[in-house]
Structure 1
Amino acid sequence: MDPLVLTQIIPEVLDPFTPTIPLRITYNNRLLLPGIELKPSAVLSRPRIDVGGNDMRVFYTLVLVDPDAPSPSHPSLREYLHWMVTDIPETTSINFGRELILYENPEPRSGIHRMVFVLFRQLGRGTVFAPHTRHNFNCRSFACQYHLNTVATTFFNCQREAGSGGRRFAPQGP
């Protein structure tokens, strides 16, 4: 089963989509695999992110959101926006984009938080703008507002340094 569906990122954060562009994310030379657990100390600095493809005339927006803020049982700040980079040319790294919302490292206070990276294809350079606030960001509304298409996503789980255990999911019906 798709990890995005299993962890309910689809449908809570995104609608179903077909990935079309490779997205490679590494924190401290450690490849981010879907659902890996990373403690706050491992994500202090922004990761290295490379976007695949072969046409530098195509541009992307990357966001990092926490749909479980401030806690998974009461996500009143859902989706908290930790980072936004726009105008990333295909075939390059995010270093070639424009950082509109500075990277804020995840520091969950309670529970296990799903930290979701979403890569959107833009209509063109300079067509996406930063929201006024980080809390209550909404990937679907954002994509609709700027006519963006979801092309790649991945996520990691993060909890406070002393935390342990796993996210529990109710069994799905037939």
Structure 2
Amino acid sequence: MTVVPQGFTSSTLVSVNYPNGEDVALGNFIKPSDSADAPTVTFIAPDPDAEYTVLMVDHDAPSKEDHTYSPYRHWVVANIPSSADFSQATELSGYIGPGPPPKTGDHRYIFLVYKQPKTDIAFNTLPKEPHCWDYKPFK
């Protein structure tokens, strides 16, 4: 399963840091115990008048070979101001730290930042179950 589509071009810089000091970097390994608490996410907003949505998803649920539950929703925060001040945002889905099942190998967790089409969106309720979650409508 391809996580980053071919031809993808980033439009901003994103930094993700866990409370214990672990920084997320493309392809690095972070133990579940070191990522149990929600990270601090910062980004450079391309549009200072816009608001943004941050998603964290697992594309390897339950494993890299079996994507039955992929993508798995781990976190959704919307209406984030361009200052990236999460205290002014709306948490739509509380943070669920990584917890891959035993013997399923390393999982690829990704953070996505989307510019919202307008500010202060009243999002519909997300599905109760976090597995098989189609996040593409957020783009």
TM-score (norm: length of structure 2): 0.85
User: What are the superposed Cα offsets for residues 17-63 of structure 1, whole Å, 9 maximum, x if unpaired?
Assistant: 32112211101233221111011100010001112137542111111
Instruction: Give the alignment of 1:29-108 within 5 angstroms.
Output: 29-53=21-45, 55-108=47-100
User: For the residues of structure 2 that align with 1:129 and 1:46, how far apart are their CA atoms?
Assistant: 23
What is the CA distance between 1:64 and its match in structure 2?
A: 0.5
What is the CA distance between 1:87 and its match in structure 2?
A: 0.3
Residue 126 of structure 2 is matched in structure 1 by 131
RMSD, matched Cα: 2.0
Q: Which has the larger strand fraction? A: 1
Distance 1:54-1:96 versus aligned 2 partners, 3 A rule: farther
User: For the residues of structure 1 that align with 2:53 and 2:73, how far apart are their CA atoms?
Assistant: 13
Residue 110 of structure 2 is matched in structure 1 by 116
Q: Where do 4+ consecutive residues of structure 1 move more than 4 Å?
A: none
- Report the AA paired with residue 8 of structure 2: F
Other structure's SS at 2:91 match: strand
Deviates more, 1:63-72 or 1:17-26: 17-26
Which structure is richer in relative contact order (CA contacts within 8 A, separation 6 or more)?
1
Q: Which has the larger helix fraction? A: 1
Distance 1:117-1:33 versus aligned 2 partners, 3 A rule: same
